[in-house]
Amino acid sequence: MHTTGNFVADTICRTAEIGLTITDAADAGPITVINATPVAVDDQCPGCSQPGSRRDHITRQLVDLPVVGFPSRLHVRIPRFTCTNDSCDRKIFQTSLACADDGAKLTQRVTRWILQCLAVDRMSVSATAKALGVGWELVNKIAVQACRNLVYDSSDHLADVKILGVDEHVWKHTRRPGEPSSMVTVLVDLTPLADGTGPARLIDMRPGRSADVLKTWLRERDPQFRAGVQVVTMDGFAGYVTAVDHALAAATKVMDPFHVVHLGAEKLTACRQRLQRETTGRRGRKDDPLYKHRRTLLTRTNYLTDRQRQRLDLLWGTDDDYVALQVTWGFYQDLIGAYGHPDRSRGRKLMIRVINTLRKGLPAGLEELAQLGRTLWRRRADILAYFDVGASNGPIEAVNGRLEHLRGIALGFRNLDHYILRSLIHSGQLQDKINAL
């Protein structure tokens, strides 16, 4: 039976739900010490399952949830027993606790609380460790191991993935941008977005950016997973295309609209820079028309202000040397218009017209457009697939943005394995699994 004082304390600290009852408590400076005993005691020997005779007691110290903003420690008085079976190798044993694994330093609900702090509240490991009154290394170790169990040891983590998004991500910034060791391949399940059941979820990350990286990851998956993937969205990197062709031959490949438009923007910028050098013999300066209006050139026509339109009209009417730039700008806007058309079938026809026009051959002076045309023609099936499927890598870019935020919270990462697991906690939509712990 609970006394009134114990009942109130057990209710406030919620110890009854973990099989403990509070006997008393003490204020140990910044930490609250709670003395408790198990509600139920199991006297069966773990070696032979025979009941033992009570020998003595020991005190087991456990880290538990903070109490009114202060770290807490459970000092649990546990009975020890002597095995009465002479043939058993286990002579002395102690009662196991339902709230903590044998040998663990934290209660099981602290593990859940740590993951909730990191995944839901977006707290840093340092802040979480401070709230518990323990070290950073312990909290990070617990979080990484728990995430590994939730993801890689879970049979349903990769279940029902029909639309797979693939993209590269820079996990640490170095003096050499694009260095292989700073890149990872990000894999995202876009199926929930298509089904309307939830946001996209990060399902895995692999070191490197190459065809072999993605091919190896796909080969490691079971045949049921590979057979279930119907669509793969990606950027313009040819290595990912090769990997999907090899491992998921039946899947529809979609080249993401963002990357197609970005490719057009790169060619438009390259044309502007080339004309700048040809007309002035140097790089652009702040008062040069081509340099001054560089952002206006990349703005979609629907979003141009009257002042920006006047700038473009002046630019096109200034000199015939800018005709190549005007033509390239026109095709760039056509790409945006095709993707932005409310009728997807009409947008598809507009995109086909752009691809075919660039394919037919262009006059001299449009080198950048010619390069763009060759790329669009080579990837035309993947580009046009977007208008049939509607899936894109936009949600993956959003995940990349959240991972950038994670790196900011953590002030950067040095261990890639920790970064991958922390990223899965941060963007893997694991809340339901965490709450079920």
Residues 194-253: tens digit of each pLDDT: 888 889 999 999 999 999 999 999 999 999 999 999 999 998 899 999 999 999 999 999
Give the per-residue pLDDT at 432: 85
Q: Are 328 and 369 in contact (CB under 8 A)?
A: yes
Strand partners, 350: none
In whole angstroms, what is the distance from residue 331 CA to residue 135 CA? 57
State the number of CA atoms in the 13 A half-sphere of 295 facing the CB. Answer: 5
pLDDT of residue 1: 41
* pLDDT at residue number 365: 87
Q: Is the pLDDT of residue 129 over 60?
A: yes
- Span of 13-27, 255-269, 322-336 with lowest mean pLDDT: 13-27
**165, two tokens:** 């998004």
pTM above 0.85, yes or no: no
In the predicted model, is pLDDT for residue 309 greater than 70? yes
pLDDT digits (tens, 9 = 90+) for 29-66: 889 999 999 988 888 888 888 888 999 999 999 999 99
> What would the pLDDT profile of 406-422 be if each residue is shown by its tens digit?
888 888 888 888 899 98
Per-residue pLDDT at 433 exceeds 90: no
Q: Which residues of 330-356 are buried (b: 16+ CB within 10 A; e: fewer)?
A: ebbbbbbbbbebeeeeebbebbeebbe
Alpha carbons 343 and 410: distance in angstroms, whole number: 44
331 φ, ψ (degrees, to nearest 5): -70, -35
Q: How many CB atoms lie within 10 A of CB 137?
A: 10
In this prediction, residues 171-186 reach a mean pLDDT of 80
Reported confidence tier of residue 14, pLDDT bands at 50, 70, 90: confident
Predicted local distance difference test score (pLDDT) of residue 177: 65
The whole-angstrom separation of Cα 334 and Cα 341 is 10
Average pLDDT, the chain: 90
- pLDDT exceeds 60 at position 4: no
Contacts of 85 (CB under 8 A, 6+ apart): 45, 47, 48, 50
Question: Helix crossing, 238-247 with 211-220: angle to 10°?
Answer: 30
| Range in 3-12, 130-139, 404-413 the model is least confident about | 3-12
CATH entry, 163-252+392-429, from 3.30.1490, 3.30.420, 3.30.1480, 3.40.50: 3.30.420
Kindly tell me if the per-residue pLDDT of 114 is higher than 60: yes
What's the confidence (pLDDT) of residue 338? 96
Q: Check residue 95 and report its DSSP letter.
A: P
Condensed to tens digits (0 to 9), the pLDDT of residues 134-178 reads 999 999 999 999 999 999 988 889 999 999 999 999 888 777 766
Could you tell me the pLDDT band of residue 26, with boundaries at 50, 70 and 90?
A: confident
CA distance 18 to 38: 9
> Is pLDDT larger for residue 90 or for residue 114?
114
User: Which pLDDT score is estimated for 318?
Assistant: 66
C-alpha 145: how far from chain center? 17
For the chain, the domains span 1-101, 163-252+392-429, 257-389
In this model, does residue 359 exceed pLDDT 50?
yes
Average pLDDT on 338-344 reads 94
